[in-house]
Amino acid sequence: MPRFAANLGYLFPEHDFLDRFAAAREAGFHAVEFAAPYPHAAREIAARLRDNGLECILFNLPMGPPGAFGIGCRPERVAEFHAGVERALEYAAALGTRRINCISGTTAEGDDRELCEHTLVANLRHAAARLADTGIELVIEPINRHDVPGFFVPTAARAAKVIEAVGAPNLGLQCDLYHAAMMGDDPSSILSAHRGTIRHIQFADVPGRHEPGTGTLDFAQLFATIDRLGYSGWVSAEYRPSKATAETLHWFRPRA
């Protein structure tokens, strides 16, 4: 079975964020992730990780002002993006995190898509270079356009082209099986086709973004595919529990 982690932005919503670390450890997780540590002091999160023997495996670069869904492709926010990279590095140092995710952002009718493309590639080169200085990996996550209309990088195929254009050895793909399926792609085929660039995997069932067994995806087959492909990284549960989180963990086998 894969190595499973808990996304604390989604799992254990019965608890305040800082109390979710203990809940995750009690459930048997050894690793956690979350989108945005920034509302909390890094020392507070570091203490929760330390007290519960947890590893923080991933968080996102700052995603911009309320209502924004990433700023990586936004030409008017380059300075903000660069500042966000520095802030993320500070948190990574405090939390011991070795992988950071970039949310690319959205475009609207009338935007200069060529300029947005140039901005995203340049920003990713900058971020990858800064993270490489401290041995941290950067990943880019495709997000489906049903949940986030206008998202600039909605598919793994699109992300692969961006990764190739950037050309940074520490840049890879964050493969969210939920987003892939929502875009009409077959998650197993995505795993196989992009095995060389996948650095992190997340999942939720489709539709609804709830736990395995609430939708149409065959998770026994998907987890077996992940093992067969030799992927040794983390596989994170990023779903909205349909009931108390502890009652949705039938798919999870804690490792010793």
Q: Which residues are catalytic?
A: 141, 238
Token pair for residue 245? Answer: 């989180």
Nearest one of 166, 158, 164, 174 to 128, comparing CA atoms: 166
User: Cα separation of 252 and 256, whole Å?
Assistant: 13
Q: Note the helical H segments in the chain.
A: 20-27, 42-52, 78-95, 113-132, 156-166, 177-182, 187-193, 219-228
Give residues with Cβ within 8 angstroms of 204, minimum separation 6. 10, 176, 177, 178, 210, 211, 237, 238, 239, 240
